[in-house]
Copies of this chain bind each other. A is one copy, B any other.
Amino acid sequence: MNLSRRDFSKLGAMGLASRMLPEGFGQTSSRKIGYCVIGIGRIADHFLRGVQESSHSKITGFVSGHRDKAERFAAQYGVPKDSIYNYEDMDRMIDNKQIDAVYVALPNNMHAEYTIRSAKAGKHVLCEKPMSTTVADAEAMIAACKSANVKLMIAYRLHYEPFNLKAIQMIRNGDIGEVQTINGAFGFNSPQGEWRLTKKYGGGGSLFDVGIYVVNACRYLTGEEPASFTGITSTLDHDGRFNEVEENVSWTMKFPSGILATGSSTYGTQMPGYFKVFGTKGWLGMNPAYNYDGLRLQANYWKTPGSPLVKIDEINPERDPKQFAREADHMSECILNNRTPSSPGEEGLRDMRYIKAIYHAAGVDVA
């Protein structure tokens, strides 16, 4: 890869440069960072299995409202019973030296409280996306971690996934020329009764939970921050699921260089996640782009006008939970080497602002 100084500084601004360095920071100790998992739902299960495959991470605690479930998991991961907390007494973990960091895997609206309480307990925080349900909460989370002198990383697992990183590299290398337009989508069919269908818990609709992948991808693919937005929302499926949040949302974003992007997301149907990037010398895309595994990268471009078409079509053979192992180890290496995570709180805050801007453009009231 040939990165110009300007390209590299652009990557640096996105926090991506360090991920293009050889694996490991050179100084990483053999000590493993101990994580307390807060909230034992579907994604926590991926994280737990990911940590099992990691190099610098281990599970050392649980916070859950279901003691029996927590005890089952604790037994499975070799965590002593006195490292199991509930939501009321979790602040006691300040005295637990086995816990270096927490992984916040709660409904969106609980991210702020549990990040801030963990920071106050002296623990580094790896928090799931979306970072919060409001811009104000995101700002408070950053301030709390700064004040407690702990690291805050948002769990943008695709920032550490080789195929998404390769797509970024190819674009920075100029393989597809100057990027002009990006299209993307991601959505799924949310069952009735899930917390995400309640605005208070989710912050809003699918844009917070899955559309965020498209917003974030457009940013890491371009290396730019979007400057203007349009948005529309709708609900087709009047079965009572969508009384609080919209079913579908689509939007456009314009970046400072003039790159245009469109995005779509939904809670109303399976919408396989993809992005397509059109440049002056060709295109590249991923589909699936955001899944836990099976990611596929395709590209067609010309090295010079008239030269044969270069065709790329590759599937990442890594299986779930490898992305979670990479994510956990990035956080652990940052803690061990006192580095700032490549996807810090400020990265999550930006997406919160853009999500808010899209909803506001669509006339939807979010905080």
Contacts and interface: CB of A to CB of B under 8 A. Distances in A.
Interface of A: 177-178, 180-181, 183, 185, 187, 189, 228, 230-237, 247-252, 254, 257-264, 266, 268-272, 276, 278-283, 300, 361
Contacts of A280: 189, 237, 268-269
A362 to B, nearest CB: 9
A230 B258 contact: no
Given A180-B236, A237-B178, A283-B272, A262 B263 contact: yes
A235 B252 contact: no
Contact of A249 (B178, B257, B260, B266): B260
A246 to B, nearest CB: 9
Contact of A271 (B178, B185, B234, B283): B283
A243 to B, nearest CB: 15
B272 A258 contact: no
A180 B260 contact: no
A165 B283 CA distance: 27
6 contacts: A178-B236, A180-B236, A230-B361, A235-B258, A262-B262, A268-B280
Contacts of A189: 280
Please state the number of chain copies in the assembly.
2
A321 to B, nearest CB: 24
B183 A183 contact: yes
B263 A258 contact: no
A181 to B, nearest CB: 5
Contacts of A187: 181, 278
Contact of A278 (B249, B263, B266): B266
A230 B228 contact: no
A269 B249 CA distance: 27
Contact of A252 (B251, B259, B281, B283): B251
Contact of A181 (B177, B185, B282): B185
Contact of A250 (B231, B262, B268): B262
A185 B250 contact: no
Contacts of A251: 252, 262
A330 to B, nearest CB: 32
A6 to B, nearest CB: 17
B269 A180 contact: yes
Contacts of A237: 178, 280
Contacts of A249: 260
A259 B261 CA distance: 19
Contact of A259 (B234, B263, B279): B234
B232 A232 contact: no
A260 to B, nearest CB: 4
A279 B283 contact: no
B185 A266 contact: no
Nearest to A281: B269
Contacts of A258: 234-236, 247-248
A48 B278 CA distance: 33
Contacts of A231: 230, 252
Contacts of A271: 180-181, 278, 283
A50 B175 CA distance: 38
Given A181-B266, A234-B260, A250-B260, 16 more contacts: A177-B269, A178-B236, A180-B236, A180-B268, A183-B183, A230-B361, A231-B252, A234-B254, A234-B258, A236-B257, A236-B258, A251-B262, A269-B278, A269-B280, A269-B281, A272-B300
